[in-house]
């Protein structure tokens, strides 16, 4: 199959393109940064996108502005790159009759995870109050009775509740792709990546994931700074597993029903806390020990843990890299500029 991978020079896109080639596909890369087998171009540029995808059988769309952003001034860039860029790509695909799309989405579309209250059942808390965060009360409580909540597992049918510019732009990508599928009869898969880590991850920047930030601190001889109390639960999934999910999604599209988008969590199924992450990396590199700061960021969610079951049944995908093994590798793996 002839496949175009957008964002092919990035952390995840590089790994995806390589695995697709290894599987025997003809892969053409498209990215702001050119390179070997990668055409340089902006996904918002109609002419460049059209030339890049001409003759393709499918597109694997990884190109995006990532991270949670620094402040509200990042809004225009997130909307421009992620929403407008996806719209330009989809319009170009429609004009050329390209009917298969794998979209890199994100778990951030969910916002806060799901919780259970002993009295009121399953619920979705709203954003946490800054007064509670400043007082060190990090766990959401039931809005009706004030009781402590038990975190649950998010599946793909949970309503979206994006909490920042990046999350909103990723959900916009899904809606645009769903509209494209309905109007053209195309088939699309949205892969909702959870916390991706691994070799080639970007170094410590305001847009880096927490794994890279901790790793960069340790490499510089500093203690990883853990926000809140470190009890935030996440699902850390290795970039090699993410690439495998893209390959599985591409194959699933060959028999997918036309005219629809189907979303899948891409997760390890092995939830860990932020403190677990810091401890594992610190131990693998021989210290220094993490420092729990009590600091917080407005807009951060407390717990977001995914169910991997739909991806297992619908794509035949399950993550293979265990947390302990992945952390030992990541502790010394090369990072990107």
* Cα→Cα distances 37→5, 34, 266, Å: 10, 8, 27
Q: What is the pLDDT of residue 206?
A: 60
Distance of alpha carbon 26 from alpha carbon 28, whole angstroms: 7
Q: Which three-class secondary structure state does DSSP give residue 233? A: strand
Examine residue 183 and state whether it is found in any structural domain, yes or no. Answer: yes
Q: Give the residue carrying structure tokens 């977001």.
A: 304
Domain assignment of residue 207, yes or no? yes
Q: Which domain holds residue 177?
A: 2-114+152-331
Tokens of 145: 């009775």
Residue 275: inside a domain = yes
Residue 248 lies in a domain: yes
pLDDT digits (tens, 9 = 90+) for 172-227: 999 999 999 999 999 999 999 999 999 999 987 665 689 999 999 999 999 999 99
DSSP 158-201: SPP---SHHHHHHHHHHHHHHHHHHHHT-EEEEEEE-EEE-TT-
* Structure token pair of residue 114: 């799901």
Q: Enumerate the β-bridge partners of residue 105.
A: 192
The answer to the question of residue 129 being in a domain is no
The position carrying tokens 């055409």 is 39
Rounded to 5 degrees, what are φ and ψ at 316?
70, 25
Residue 325 maps to which CATH number?
3.40.50.720
Give φ, ψ of 25 to 5 degrees.
-85, 155
For residue 304, pLDDT beyond 60: yes
Q: What's the number of domains the chain is made of?
A: 1
Positive or negative torsion for Cα 191, 195, 198, 200: positive
Tell if the pTM clears 0.85, that is, is over it.
yes
Residue 131 lies in a domain: no
36 falls within a domain? yes
- Report yes or no on 137 lying in a domain: no
- The percent of residues in the chain predicted with pLDDT above 90, rounded, is 90
Q: What are the strands of the beta sheet with 100-106, ordered from one edge?
A: 38-40, 26-31, 2-6, 58-61, 100-106, 187-193, 260-266
């Amino acid at each position: 199959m002839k496949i175009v991978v957008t964002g092919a020079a990035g952390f995840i896109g590089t790994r995806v393109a390589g695995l697709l080639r290894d599987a025997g596909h003809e892969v053409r890369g498209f990215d702001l940064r050119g390179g070997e087998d990668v055409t340089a171009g902006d996904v918002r540029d109609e002419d460049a996108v059209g030339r890049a995808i001409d003759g393709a059988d499918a597109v694997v769309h990884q190109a995006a502005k990532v991270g949670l952003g620094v402040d509200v001034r990042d809004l225009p860039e997130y909307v421009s790159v992620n929403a407008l860029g996806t719209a330009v790509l989809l319009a170009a695909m429609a004009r050329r009759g390209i009917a298969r799309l794998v979209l890199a989405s994100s778990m951030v579309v969910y916002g806060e995870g799901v919780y259970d209250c002993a009295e009121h059942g399953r619920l979705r808390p709203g954003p946490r109050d800054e007064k509670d965060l400043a007082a060190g009360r990090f766990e959401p409580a039931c809005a009706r009775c004030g009781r402590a909540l038990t975190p649950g597992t998010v599946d793909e049918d949970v309503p979206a509740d994006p909490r920042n510019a990046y999350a909103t732009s990723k959900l916009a990508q899904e809606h645009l792709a769903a509209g494209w599928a309905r109007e053209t009869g195309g088939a699309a898969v949205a892969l909702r990546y959870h916390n991706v880590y691994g070799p080639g991850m970007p170094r410590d920047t305001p847009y880096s994931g927490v794994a890279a930030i901790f790793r960069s601190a340790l490499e510089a001889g500093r203690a990883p700074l853990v926000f809140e109390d470190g009890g935030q639960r996440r699902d850390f999934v290795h970039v090699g597993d993410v690439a495998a999910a893209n390959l599985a999604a591409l194959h699933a599209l060959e028999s997918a029903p036309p005219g629809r988008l189907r979303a899948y969590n891409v997760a390890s199924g092995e939830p860990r806390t932020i403190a677990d992450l810091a401890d594992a990396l610190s131990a693998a590199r021989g210290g220094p020990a993490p420092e729990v700061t009590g600091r917080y960021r407005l807009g951060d969610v407390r717990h977001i843990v995914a169910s991997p079951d739909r991806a297992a049944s619908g794509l035949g995908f399950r993550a293979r890299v265990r947390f302990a093994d992945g952390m030992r590798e990541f502790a010394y793996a090369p990072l990107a500029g």
